A and B are shown apart, each in its own frame.
Chain A
Amino acid sequence: MNIIFYIASLVALVATVMVVTRKNAIHALLYLVVSLLAVSVIFFISGAPFVAALEVIVYAGAIMVLFVFAIMMLNLGKDSTQKESRLMNFGAWIIPALLCLILLCELIYVFFSYDAGYRNVRVIEAAEVSDSLFGGYVLAVELTGMLLMAGIVGAYHIGKEKKREYHRYLQLNEEEHE
């Protein structure tokens, strides 16, 4: 099983490096999805199928939504259709697709080589997870809520553009003062 782990982590590393180095936000997101899928494969082969599923649903799913939003919000111009068709040319999607293919092959291999040694993995049900989340760890969940609030308020403040409603002449003056 070790070789599977190493291949999956290599895929994750390559994809993550590509995320950081891409200039196009959409292409970077594409690689981010691959990276998250690779991490989910790692979770799966280390005996945590529930976390693997969550990783795909929450992270990759949420990132896909972000992806759609990015396309919707960034390309509002008239030539957005044209831009979109250029966005997904062959060079952009072939490498992520190949990386995903590697992960898929790994999964198929894991399913077929499923031997008795791994049968003692305890499958954790969703109910069990929510039991501990809203039982013993409920304060951690609350704290996470506060963390998200801090993130949102901070991002809102940093990202906010000041509305300029001055007359052109006054605006020039304002800029000189600053």
Chain B
Amino acid sequence: MVTLNDLSIILPEIILACGAVVVMLLIALYRNHFISNLLTLITFAVAMAVLVGQSNSQQEVTALFMVDPLGIFLTGLILCAAFIITLMSFPYFHIQKEVKEEYYILLILATLGAVCMSISNHFISFVLSLELLSVSLFALIGYLKKENISVEAAVKYLIMAAVATSFILFGFALIYTSTGRMDLQGLGENLKGGDPDILVLAGLALAIVGFGFKMALVPFHLWTPDIYSAAPAPVAAFVATISKGAAFVFLLRFFYSIGGLEHESIWIAFAVIATASMFIGNWLGLRQQNIKRLIAYSSISHLGYLMVGFLAFSEAGIRASAFYLVIYFAGILAAFGMIAYLSGRKGEPVMIEDYRGLFWSKPWLAAFFTLVMLSLAGIPFTAGFMGKFYVLTSGMGAGKIFLLIVLVLSSTIGLFYYLRVVATMLSRADTATTIEDYIGKQSFALKIIVAALFILLLWLGVYPNTFFAMMGM
């Protein structure tokens, strides 16, 4: 049974659910973009405030949810990212002709799905929150339904997500057939130690395929660039950060609690996926002319780096992955925030050529964008470097030398295309395009976001110790 104490533990989730209902009811009474946006911001802020006040211990809420330090950390991270995305959405959608208010209901519901996924402790709660996340995202991706390309992307995502979910469900069904358990603790007791039988292995393989789709790991990455380039920039940021982060945390919890990585074949499967993601992500990014597709390939390779932390299979690995997720979130949010900042009534500046000569017309923005690109590339004194450093350390501690070599090599390949963007911004050509009518000009919120992310990326890169102390790492 659910007790009052249980409810107080999952209060942030309850607040999100209530927030979605309130925003929906408000639309029935009075349609106003600003008020819907404000209510959404308040919902995220209140949920975050409640979360901060909670004790940082491991508590079980029925069989479905487990609120532990990792879950609380990820919930906080997701709420912060959702807050930033909401701030970013207001100016972005304000100039669109589409009806805007429903966007915020879906945004809160998608966030709720991601938060529930990150504290899931049971197959049922995981699948439900996965569906909540995916169903909200279909509509969010195709939100600007006047744009044919958005609708196409939404349909693509719908089919891909349905396939991924069916893989996961079938895999879970096989595991359930063999063990008779669906909660992670029960599975752990059943599977630890002995060799898993063929049904469990097949189930795990299918689940890995599903997770691969969700996290866009090679070879299940094909949807990523299409969706990112077609979705509105804030939604693309959501798909790239929150949805992947939540799936990653459940993957981590799932495989750590059943001890799956002790099994040679599963470890090798993940190692192959991680290696392929790092190489192919960076490789395909090399010749991209479209900046949103470039970020998509960058995010594929970043998830590959993240998998190195996962494969370390240790406490240090979890900590390194959590830290890497923060930096990945900040970097991707900053990159999409930049695109949103420079977008206007004519659309988003999606081609790299659109940024030619940006340094000479808007030096501050260009400096910020350079920092973002360097951070994604992992240059020292930016956050990206520290993230990679900790992932490398955790991998070194676990003795996974091969993966570390791959990480270093593929980052070097990746460096090229990040620097190409920087070089394009620096070049002083006659054909320099000047973006004049962009939404960042009037929006105070966007300026705040850009400034905050700028400081965060530098701070985490130069002196992350205070951050670790704050997070209790």
A: residues with CB less than 8 A from B are: 135-140, 142-144, 146-147, 149-151, 153-158, 160, 178
Contacts and interface: CB of A to CB of B under 8 A. Distances in A.
Given A139-B125, A150-B109, A153-B106, 16 more contacts: A135-B1, A140-B128, A143-B116, A146-B17, A146-B20, A146-B109, A147-B131, A149-B24, A150-B113, A150-B135, A154-B138, A157-B143, A157-B145, A158-B142, A158-B145, A178-B146
Interface stretch (B62-70, B259-267, B440-448): B62-70
Interface in B257-287: none
Contacts of A149: 20-21, 24, 105, 109
Interface of B: 1-2, 10, 17, 20-21, 24, 61-65, 97, 99, 102, 105-106, 109-110, 112-113, 116, 124-125, 128-129, 131-132, 135-136, 138-139, 142-143, 145-146, 154
Contact of B124 (A140, A150, A160): A140
Contacts of B102: 153, 156-157
B62 A154 contact: no
Contact of B139 (A139, A144, A154): A154
Contacts of A140: 64, 124-125, 128
Looking at A135, A146, A178, the one whose CB has the most chain B CB atoms below 10 A away is A146
A149 B25 CA distance: 12
A157 B139 contact: yes
Given A146-B109, A157-B102, A160-B99, A139 B65 contact: yes
Nearest to B61: A139
Contacts of A137: 62-64, 124
Contact of A143 (B2, B24, B132): B132
B62 A150 contact: no
Nearest to A159: B145
A132 to B, nearest CB: 10
Contacts, number: 80
Contacts of A136: 1, 62-64
Given A139-B125, A178-B146, A147 B1 contact: no
A143 B105 contact: no
7 contacts: A136-B63, A139-B10, A139-B65, A140-B64, A146-B132, A150-B110, A153-B102
B79 to A, nearest CB: 16
Contacts of B61: 139
A158 B124 CA distance: 28
A138 B62 CA distance: 9
A136 B128 CA distance: 15
B1 A143 contact: no
B267 to A, nearest CB: 32
Nearest to B110: A150
Nearest to A135: B1
Grouping DSSP codes into helix (H, G, I), strand (E, B) and loop, the B interface class, with mixed when no group exceeds half, is helix
B142 to A, nearest CB: 6
A150 B139 contact: yes
A148 to B, nearest CB: 9
Nearest to B138: A154
Contacts of B24: 149, 153
Contacts of A178: 97, 146
A139 B62 contact: yes
B135 A143 contact: no
A158 B138 CA distance: 10
Those 5 A-B pairs whose CB atoms lie nearest each other, nearest first: A154-B139, A150-B109, A150-B136, A143-B128, A157-B102
Nearest to B63: A136
Contacts of A156: 102
A42 to B, nearest CB: 13
A153 B128 CA distance: 17
Contacts of A146: 17, 20, 109, 112-113, 132
Contacts of A160: 99
Looking at A138, A144, A157, the one whose CB has the most chain B CB atoms below 10 A away is A157
A155 B142 CA distance: 11
Given A144-B128, A149-B109, A154-B106, A139 B145 contact: no
A143 B109 contact: no
A36 B125 CA distance: 25
Contact of B135 (A138, A139, A147, A157): A147
Nearest to A156: B102
A62 to B, nearest CB: 18
Contacts of A158: 139, 142, 145, 154
B106 A150 contact: yes
Looking at A135, A140, A144, A155, the one whose CB has the most chain B CB atoms below 10 A away is A140
B63 A143 contact: no
Nearest to B6: A139
B241 to A, nearest CB: 19
A139 B116 CA distance: 10
A143 B65 CA distance: 12
